[in-house]
Structure 1
Amino acid sequence: MELSRFLKLRQLSEGDYQAFLYDCDGTLADNMPAHTATYIATANEYGVSIDPAMINELAGWPIADVVTEMNIRYQSNIDPIAFRARKAELYAAEYMEKIVPIDFVLQHLKASAGKVRIGVVSGGDREAIEKTLKVLGVDDLVEVLICAGDTLKGKPFPDPFLKAAALLHVEPGRCLVFEDGLPGVEAAKSAGMAWLRIDQIV
């Protein structure tokens, strides 16, 4: 199954592209359930019970932006910075070393390195994403890493993808984005980039 999905992804990514830009959580790493669990656990510490569907809906948003939206929806007053730090603690303690890859996407990145420029564009905190890429064994293949706070606006705005393209010296129209979440797809579209939803590759 993984081989067929890898071959399908490779076929779909054929074209005159100069850069591949991968999301991390839920695209390279099979860790969205872990992130959802730590969102719920952290919110519970603040006395807020959140719907897990919200985390899937906002996949790719910077954590601080998710907390701001959470405050609106649940009429809470949680400090986004403090929440982000606590969530990072829980995630590192419980899940970081247990990360497993989404293998067909990870193999696609490895097979593409050296043929096109490679970037990772994530709404996660830099420290967590750097550790994730190291656990996955591809940190040395990633030429540009854009994370939360590296641009004024995160996904679903195009800014993170546009910054990655600029740093790679590749025109947006020559970039292909790999995403698992709607906010990331919206960001890629707004950036004028082609995109693939890896969760729809069968």
Structure 2
Amino acid sequence: MTGFPWKAIAWDIDGTLIDSEPLHHRALLATCAAHGLDLSALPESRFVGIHLRDVWQALRADLEEGLTEAGFYRQINLNYVAGSGSLTEIPGAVAVVRALDALGVIQVCASNSDREVVDANLAALQIDKIMRGTISLDDVREGKPAPDPYLRAAEQAGVAPGEVLAVEDSLTGIRAAQSAGMRVALLLPPGHPDPAGDLQPDYRITALNQIPGLRR
């Protein structure tokens, strides 16, 4: 491996590698419409970064009787996968993943999404074969901000957490990666609000193509 100072990189997916929020929003609207709730006027940002459990709690009283929490999740995932052909990469994502692969950097993904969504995202980007492992919410006891997803990602990479750089776009992701003992690069494109608050990522980048040039 040449130049890159970590043995592995652990990618968040939604908002970091793939622009998935519009499709998540459409999948939610379609699911709710099918169960008696019209959310067509809902701002796309309303549930960004909100766990599906909390979305369910916020909406369940207005959904038709008989819909279970598991059924709600399942329908959203089905609608998401059905629309996955519309997904687009975060600028530079595929090129950077391929460049790091060419350098011999081990790559894994750690997501707070369900397995079906993780697989659909990576397939849409055509980088699923490059990843040494992928962690979904189904694979851990606790999702982010708990460290579990990133600890599992380090296990799949076969390296210590301190030898992994995590790339994130959210506060919960930063907390998870730092709690796991990883350094964290926060993707913060120009004009985007900084989600970190009082928490300090190790690096702030404005574009993914800056990652190969990061140094300890």
For the aligned pair, the TM-score class normalised by the smaller chain equals 0.7 to 0.9
Give CA-to-partner distance per residue, 1:10-37, whole Å, 9 cap, x none. xxxx753111011122211122111122
Q: What 5-or-longer segments of structure 1 have no aligned partner?
A: 1-13
Q: What 5-or-longer segments of structure 2 have no aligned partner?
A: 190-205, 208-216
Kindly state the Cα deviation for residue 105 of structure 1 after the two structures are TM-superposed.
2.3
Distance 1:99 1:51, change over 3 A: closer
User: Distance between the aligned counterparts of 1:101 and 1:36, measured in 2?
Assistant: 17
User: Distance between the aligned counterparts of 2:152 and 2:46, measured in 1?
Assistant: 27
Structure 1 or 2, whichever has the larger Rg, is 2
Q: Which residue of 1 aligns with 2:89?
A: 101
Kindly state the Cα deviation for residue 157 of structure 1 after the two structures are TM-superposed.
1.0
Three-state SS of the structure 1 residue aligned to 2:140 is coil
Kindly state the Cα deviation for residue 117 of structure 1 after the two structures are TM-superposed.
0.9
Q: How many residues align?
A: 181
Distance 1:51 1:157, change over 3 A: farther
| Contact 1:57–1:182 (8 Å) recurs in 2 | no
Distance 1:183 1:51, change over 3 A: farther
Superposition RMSD in Å: 2.4
Q: Structure 1 length as normaliser, TM-score?
A: 0.78
Query: Which of the numbers 70, 88, 91 marks the counterpart of 2:55?
Result: 70
2:125 corresponds to 1:133: no
Give CA-to-partner distance per residue, 1:99-132, whole Å, 9 cap, x none. 2211312211111115211001112222332232
| Contact 1:48–1:74 (8 Å) recurs in 2 | no
Distance 1:183 1:144, change over 3 A: same
2:40 corresponds to 1:55: no
The AA in structure 1 aligned to 2:171 is: L
Query: Which of the numbers 174, 193, 201 marks the counterpart of 2:182?
Result: 193
The AA in structure 2 aligned to 1:70 is: V
User: Distance between the aligned counterparts of 2:184 and 2:59, measured in 1?
Assistant: 33
Q: Which residue of 2 aligns with 1:161?
A: 150
Kindly state the Cα deviation for residue 89 of structure 1 after the two structures are TM-superposed.
2.0
Distance 1:57 1:147, change over 3 A: closer
Give CA-to-partner distance per residue, 1:47-102, whole Å, 9 cap, x none. 375664342232xx4xxxx2x32344457386331111111222223x21122211
User: Distance between the aligned counterparts of 1:116 and 1:31, measured in 2?
Assistant: 25
Q: Structure 2 length as normaliser, TM-score?
A: 0.73
User: Distance between the aligned counterparts of 2:117 and 2:54, measured in 1?
Assistant: 22
Greater helix fraction, Structure 1 or Structure 2: 1
Three-state SS of the structure 2 residue aligned to 1:103 is coil
Three-state SS of the structure 2 residue aligned to 1:26 is coil
Q: Which has the higher contact order (CA 8 A, sep 6+)?
A: 1
Query: Which of the numbers 21, 25, 39 marks the counterpart of 2:28?
Result: 39
Give CA-to-partner distance per residue, 1:127-153, whole Å, 9 cap, x none. 332232122111110011111210100
Three-state SS of the structure 2 residue aligned to 1:186 is helix
The AA in structure 2 aligned to 1:142 is: M
Q: Percent identity?
A: 27
User: Distance between the aligned counterparts of 1:19 and 1:46, measured in 2?
Assistant: 46
User: Distance between the aligned counterparts of 1:83 and 1:198, measured in 2?
Assistant: 31
| Contact 2:22–2:44 (8 Å) recurs in 1 | no
